[in-house]
Structure 1
């Protein structure tokens, strides 16, 4: 996915017949300064613990790069399954194989934990748990894998802390939450590759899950994807595919962030569309999904931070305040859903 911006992704999605915004135009509202009136957070929303989330990032990194077909990858997957069971989730594991762009067959696992599983109204929260197998943007050791503290580790850490909070503060009524960890997201073809272009080489886990739903017939009112949500000084813009296909979800998230004091992290700014796990969920299911992903137009990549697919994506880039801003916002959205 994230090694290359796919500005044509909207056209591909439009070809599927999914509804789009008026005239399918990109919104030109970058830098908007609108701010909703502050509101008092609902009393039933627990406090997201940033120290706990940081510890979850540390734990994942301690296994080593979570590259498919490695011992670290297998050990991390087992750890995630056990943690979600410990936190009271109804856990299901989807094992499958996928052929990578280089012909390698990858042994992969998508992991889902359901909370209040009998509820009819479901919210899907997702992240990817694998890490990049090469540091293809780094001038030093570009063939070696990265720690992926932010790219992979941070999104999973936020979901694990949400799982811990859901065990301590069970959901009530007809609202349930499903935490879905996608595998094989970051094993895509490098931009620098001289081999013929391989379409759909990124997001292997979400491609498989969206075509082979687990549980069978699964659907949700909406979904939220978390990707690269823990780096220092991160800002989260409203990604275009999310705006077009899940505009109301985007509005809900960003307004909530402003209402509870995290407007600095969630500015009313728009960013171009990219291919990420939400792309395939939108394309292959009836679930509208918004992507919370860091946006840095000042970086040399033009979109992602300077750590992206480099060895600097390690624990030093992670900031508890960023984890807190994202985690508390998503937890608030979930816990106040009617």
Structure 2
């Protein structure tokens, strides 16, 4: 009889333990583990924009371009990222031979799971959408410097906390903005598919590491404008819809739905297009293109693309969103 009581007690305790385990499992599913994400500093990002603009227009083959590239390399090295330069030459639509360099920085270079972040660091050699000083190069505070600055701040933050358990690569593409003028299409030559995006075309076919790949990529282009609106770009949705949704959903969760608009946008041949096509890495583009007319704002390719249009709030919305995406992988 005692044995029967003893066995019954054991069974009852096991049942309680089993129920407790089930309850714990259910609670763990309902309450995902909280992830620490370091703070993105918009003042720091803004200062990086200002520093680049102070160099002047960063047009390839110019002194400003060379000095800016050296600054970016030294800044990334100061954050303890491994940095490589990829030097190459390309000919433009107007038959200019450019001496270009993609700047590539890596965090946790031995990690197999990698995320690729990118922006272009050169600026437009002429203000072809302006009514004045059309042949003079633009400062490119938004179109060039903003994306670079957000990524510099992300690199600084990641190094400061050194708690990210995956690999991240940052590429600053060169020669993105020397495309043909409006309504002056010229058939590309020398193996180019476009006169735009020279750096990403080169890198996608000649990676800094022959077998390099990434889980996915995020391109930042013109991400500092006041009241910017980022629609879901067309090629991004074709190549990596789940990544687009991941980024836009994260932005909404952080309270940035007025920037990350949950609506389809138009297609733009930007650096991500070539990373997808030739690099075989699903990359999306965060870019403020108006889907109704395909425009990028009144500042675009004009001398109004200066510090007056840069917003710390927009830089923070984009930078904080990307940081949260990385730390929640």
TM-score by length of 2: 0.87
Other-structure match for 2:154: 162
TM-superposed CA distance for 1:118, in Å, is 1.0
Equivalent in the alignment of 2:47:
55
Q: Is contact 2:180-2:186 (8 Å) kept?
A: no
Of 295, 298, 304, the match for 1:312: 304
Please, which runs of 5 or more residues in structure 2 have no aligned partner?
Answer: 1-30
2:142 touches 2:225 (CA, 8 Å); kept in 1? Answer: yes
Which residue does 2:176 correspond to in 1? 185
Native 8 Å contact 2:119 2:172 kept in 1: yes
Matches within 5 A, 1:22-171: 42-171=34-163
Partners of 1:152 and 1:83 lie apart in 2 by 17
d(CA) in 2 for partners of 1:44, 1:320? 23
Q: Distance in 2 between matches of 1:108 and 1:171?
A: 34
Q: What CA deviation, in whole Å up to 9, does each residue of 1:186-238 have, x standing for no partner?
A: 01011143x74435100000000000001221100000000000000100000
In 2, distance between residues paired with 1:42 and 1:254? 20
CA apart distance, 1:260: 1.2
Is the CA contact 1:297–1:304 (under 8 Å) kept in the aligned structure 2? no
Could you say which structure has the larger radius of gyration? 2
Pairwise CA distance, 1:125:
0.3
Q: For residues 141 and 89 of structure 1, what CA distance do their matches in structure 2 show?
A: 39
Residue 40 to residue 75, structure 1, CA distance change in 2 (3 Å)? farther
Give a deviation string over 1:102-134, Cα, whole Å, max 9, x none. 111101010111001111100000000000000
3-state SS of the aligned residue for 2:261?
coil
More helix by share: 2
Give the structure 2 partner of residue 270 of structure 1: 264
Secondary structure of residue in 2 paired with 1:92: strand
Aligned length: 295
Instruction: Describe the shift of the 1:147–1:172 C-alpha distance in structure 2 as closer, same or farther (beyond 3 A).
Output: closer
Query: The residue matched to 1:82 in structure 2 has which SS?
Result: helix
Relative to structure 1, the CA distance from residue 48 to residue 235 in structure 2 (aligned partners, 3 Å threshold; closer, same or farther) is same
SS of residue paired to 2:196:
coil
Shift of 1:40: 10
Deviation, 1:261, is 1.1
Alpha-carbon distance in structure 2 between the residues aligned to 1:322 and 1:62: 21
Q: Structure 2: how far apart are the matches of 1:240 and 1:157?
A: 25
* C-alpha RMSD over aligned residues: 1.6
Correspondence list, 1:229-240, <5 A: 229-240=223-234
Instruction: Work out the CA distance in 1 between the residues paired with 2:290 and 2:164.
Output: 38
Q: Which has the higher contact order (CA 8 A, sep 6+)?
A: 1
Normalising by structure 1, what TM-score? Answer: 0.85
After the TM superposition, which parts of structure 1 deviate over 4 Å for at least 4 consecutive aligned residues?
39-43
Between the aligned partners of 1:171 and 1:127, the Cα distance in structure 2 is 24
Give the distance between the partners of 1:93 and 1:327, measured in 2 at CA.
Answer: 24
**Alpha-carbon offset, residue 269 of structure 1:** 1.2
Residue 322 (structure 2) pairs with residue 330 (structure 1): yes
Query: What does residue 9 of structure 1 align with?
Result: none
